[in-house]
């Protein structure tokens, strides 16, 4: 299954990439919901959080570490929100695991 994120990983579709390594990518969201809004995705095709296996532990850990480091580089020292929408009821639109990182303003709760 080839999602838009797979096409970003393979460079078929351009993206404003902040970080890339062997495990993951971080890039600007094309529909930002906050002044700073980027995504962190694993290069391995994992459909959602619901599909994680024990073998994915290091991949998810790397994605979270990259989210933290990129958030700091993006000036989010006052805080940010990290979200992984999962499946239909969780609001997941792209069937590839991804983490939203949003900040740059006071975020309210509940989100929606």
Cite the active site residues. Answer: 98
Task: Give the contacts of 40 (CB within 8 A, at least 6 positions apart).
Answer: 19, 24, 25, 26, 63, 64, 66, 67, 70, 98, 99, 101
Backbone angles phi, psi at 51, to 5 degrees: -105, 5
Residue with token string 């404003």? 16
């Amino acid at each position: 299954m080839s999602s838009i994120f797979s096409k970003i990983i393979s460079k078929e579709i351009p993206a404003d990439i902040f970080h890339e390594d062997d495990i993951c990518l971080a890039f600007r969201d094309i529909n930002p919901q906050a002044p700073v809004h980027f995504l962190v995705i694993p290069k391995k095709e994992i459909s959602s959080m619901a599909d994680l296996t024990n073998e994915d532990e290091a991949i998810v850990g790397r994605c979270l570490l990259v989210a933290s480091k990129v958030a700091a580089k993006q000036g989010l020292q006052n805080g940010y929100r990290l979200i992984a929408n999962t499946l239909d009821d969780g609001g997941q639109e792209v069937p590839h695991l991804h983490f939203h990182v949003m900040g740059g303003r006071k975020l309210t709760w509940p989100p929606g």
